[in-house]
Amino acid sequence: MITDIPLIFAAGDANSPMWGVLFQILVVIGAALVSGMVFERFKQSAILGYLVAGMILGPGCLGIVSEKSGVAVMAELGVSLLLFAIGLEFSAKRLMRLGPIAIGGGCLQVGLTLTIAALVAKFADLDWKPAIAIGAAVSLSSTACVLRLLIDRAEIDSVHGRTILGILLLQDVAVVPLVLLVTMLGGGGTIAQMGIEMSKAVGLIIVLIAGFLALSRWVLPRALKHLSMSRDRELLVLLAVFLAIGSAWAAHSFHLSPALGAFIAGMMLAESPFATQIRSDIGALRILFVTLFFMSVGMLGDPVWMSQHFIAVGIVTLAVMLGKCLIISLITFAFRLPIAYAFASGAALAQVGEFGIVIAGIANGSELFDEYLFHLIVSSILVSLLVTPFLVNFALAGGRQIQSLIRKEGSEPSGPSEPGPHEDDTDRVILIGFGPSGQNVGSELLRRENTQTLVIDFRASNVDLARSMGFKAEPGDATNMEFMIHHGVSTAKAIVISIPDHRTSVQITQSVRAINPSIAIVVRARYHSLVPDLEEAGATAVIDEEYFTGKRLATAVRALI
């Protein structure tokens, strides 16, 4: 029996390719951790570190990670998880509120960028076919990079953030016809075949939307009804991961963009009361896979080639980014967006995205590009991605400076002002836990007319009770700070923690205090000995149950004798 023990725990042949892939993934994650820490140390975006580390580890430099390592597949999954999480915040109604700038502005941006880039390439003595392929590649921006940066800066729901999201979603839809266009240019199909394939793509998108809609309307509500968040939290996490990865797989199986399919699925689920919690539950997976995505994009670069042709790479990158920034700024301004936000949108979308590399690869494979042109396009795309964090950080401030200069000339038209994040939540009180203690607190808060109260609780029954009493209530995990930030903890006036679990109360108190140093935190302590822990964690006031119970007991005794 003892000799059988190693066989029980053996994970297969030590020389299995799986272990080689696992080692490469381990190296990638370790390099991402180190490079991200270095760049964050110098107050730069960790995305820059991921891209640089990918270039160093990839085939063009050290060659530690091979092209067939499987990292690229996980990277594509990372973009899908990011779009799924964003879709959970954008229901169909909210998406429609993006207005004509999403569809009209997005179509104009892709069409104009493709046309102008193709004309410039033709002027540079290229044939029409490779010139059009270049236009198709540079017309797309980086969904993963831009949205990740906007989320980090809490600008995804700003005026320019919503505009950027709408244009990026239209670009994701445009990927299919652009790929078909470049394939046809490379001799892979006729115009009739291209029309048939595009019709198939449109039909499959409609089928996908209908399927996700049926799932969200009739299947998931029943499933969620039987998932008690207090007892079966792990099941809800598994459901979230299943939906996120399953939606990407479904779109891929239809030969559509997995990222687009994941966004549609998330949008269909946005009306669910658990949407925010599901978004939080897949947060760790999303971070892992999106990090792998940026590393894999960096691996496409060849630092040696780039250093040998840095002048050509710099000129092409500068021309593309300035051109896209100008085109997008003018289009969004034409849709009556104020100059500050029009410029911010143009600057944030000035880079060339990950699908541009895919299109360049197709053009190279069909011999539309020679090796020099392919390396030049890919290198320029990577440089534009490296510059993007700086542009996103500067975009809004630069737009406001331009707007203020034009206002001095008296020619800037009025437009909508940008709402700050959770601007209406500055007088909000967040109540964690709606058991008997929480209900007493809630009854007191109801008497205060000018106080907005949000109740957060694990149990669906407590959430329903709070709503029946007139409170705004959300089911969710208050220890998850992404969930709490989404519901305005960074700008709330006070938070009351009425749950009985001491460790959870300490964890919530510490996290909330780190996010919002000025918030008033009132916490319940079941025992007198636990009060110091909560005070050290940052509680403003700790309600000692033993002390107040003793006072009530003494009062009752005096009344009786």
pLDDT tens column, 242-288? 877 888 888 888 777 777 778 777 777 776 666 666 766 776 777 77
What percent of the chain has pLDDT above 70?
81
Per-residue CA distances from 319 to 121, 350, 549 (Å): 11, 10, 73
Averaged confidence pLDDT in the chain: 79
Alpha-carbon gap, residue 415 to 396, rounded angstroms? 15
pLDDT, one tens digit per residue, over 402-460 is 888 887 665 444 444 444 444 444 578 999 999 888 888 888 777 676 678 899 987 77
* pLDDT recorded at residue 453: 87
Alpha-carbon gap, residue 315 to 311, rounded angstroms? 6
Q: Which of 27-41, 134-148, 215-229, 468-482 has the lowest mean pLDDT?
A: 215-229
* pLDDT recorded at residue 500: 82
Instruction: Give the mean model confidence (pLDDT) for residues 471-488.
Output: 82
Q: Which residues of 114-135 are buried (b: 16+ CB within 10 A; e: fewer)?
A: bebbbebbbeeebeebbbbbbb
Instruction: Give the mean model confidence (pLDDT) for residues 39-49.
Output: 79
* pLDDT recorded at residue 69: 60
Q: Does residue 492 have a pLDDT over 70?
A: yes
Q: Does residue 153 have a pLDDT over 90?
A: no
* pLDDT recorded at residue 118: 93
Contact between residue 173 and residue 353 where contact means Cβ atoms under 8 Å apart: no
Q: Does residue 62 have a pLDDT over 90?
A: no
> Could you tell me the domains of the chain?
17-69+89-204+282-409 (1.20.1530.20), 423-560 (3.40.50.720)
pLDDT, one tens digit per residue, over 421-437 is 444 445 789 999 998 88
Q: Does residue 170 have a pLDDT over 70?
A: yes
Task: Tally Cβ neighbours within 10 Å of residue 180.
Answer: 20
* pLDDT recorded at residue 5: 45
The band of 2, judged by pLDDT with boundaries at 50, 70 and 90, is: very low
Three-state secondary structure along 496-509? Answer: EECCCCHHHHHHHH
* pLDDT recorded at residue 539: 92
Instruction: Give the mean model confidence (pLDDT) for residues 186-206.
Output: 70
Per-residue CA distances from 487 to 140, 281, 458 (Å): 32, 15, 15
Identify the residue whose tokens are 């160093």. 56
Amino acid at 436: P
- Residues with Cβ within 8 Å of 206's Cβ and at least 6 positions away in sequence, in order, are none
Q: Does residue 312 have a pLDDT over 80?
A: yes
Instruction: Give the mean model confidence (pLDDT) for residues 150-163.
Output: 77
Nearest to 488 by CA among 499, 502, 501, 474: 474
* pLDDT recorded at residue 421: 41
Half-sphere exposure at residue 348, Cβ-oriented, CA atoms within 13 angstroms: 34
* pLDDT recorded at residue 410: 55
Q: Does residue 113 have a pLDDT over 60?
A: yes
User: Which stretches of 8-162 are assigned E, i.e. beta strand?
Assistant: none
Q: Which of 68-82, 157-171, 332-346, 350-364 has the lowest mean pLDDT?
A: 68-82
- Structure-token pair, residue 433: 């836990």
Amino acid at 162: R
What percent of the chain has pLDDT above 90?
17
Alpha-carbon gap, residue 332 to 455, rounded angstroms? 39
* pLDDT recorded at residue 412: 46
